[in-house]
Amino acid sequence: MYFNDGFRELQRQECLQLLGTVPVGRIVHTRHALPAVLPVNFCLDSDGAVLLRTSAASELVRAIDGAIVAFEADEVDAATHAGWSVVVTGSASVIRDAAEHERLARSGPRSWVPSPQEVFVRIEPELVTGRALVGGRTLYGLDATS
């Protein structure tokens, strides 16, 4: 978090609740020693872990399996200058347990680009942070819309 920036810091539970309200976020990882950001659809598991479903042969799976990644989702209303942003940071891993894979095939995220062989990726919610700006008013009482 960036303290003293005028935004309201969100608590972990509030962050997870907000994440559950949007279908798309961005995964941030390292690609060829540089930061890479990729939009993905997702859902949350009951413990707050971020779940992705993608092709087993995807470059994304090779890049993030076993790596520390960040996942960000947000919702912004440009007209009212209000919105929120949540970041989950943690270890990403391909789910290899057959029973867990079967459970997620029934209840997990649906791929927007289905492929013949899909895997589920779990991002552990080790660090969950978020911030909000409500109605264009900062913590300092200033109107951000003027």
Give pLDDT, residue 104: 94
For the chain, the DSSP string reads --TTSSPEEEPHHHHHHHHTT-SEEEEEEEETTEEEEEEEE-EE-TTS-EEEEEETT-HHHHHHTTSEEEEEEEEEETTTTEEEEEEEEEEEEE---HHHHHHHHHHSPPPSS--SSEEEEEE--SEEEEEEEBTTB-TTS-BTT-
Residue from 74, 78, 77 nearest 15 by CA: 74
pLDDT at 80: 81
Please report, in tens digits, the pLDDT of each residue of the chain (146 residues total).
Answer: 555 566 889 999 999 999 999 999 999 999 989 999 999 999 999 999 999 999 999 999 999 999 999 999 999 988 888 899 999 999 999 999 999 999 999 999 998 888 889 999 999 999 999 999 876 666 565 555 55
Q: What is the pLDDT of residue 2?
A: 52
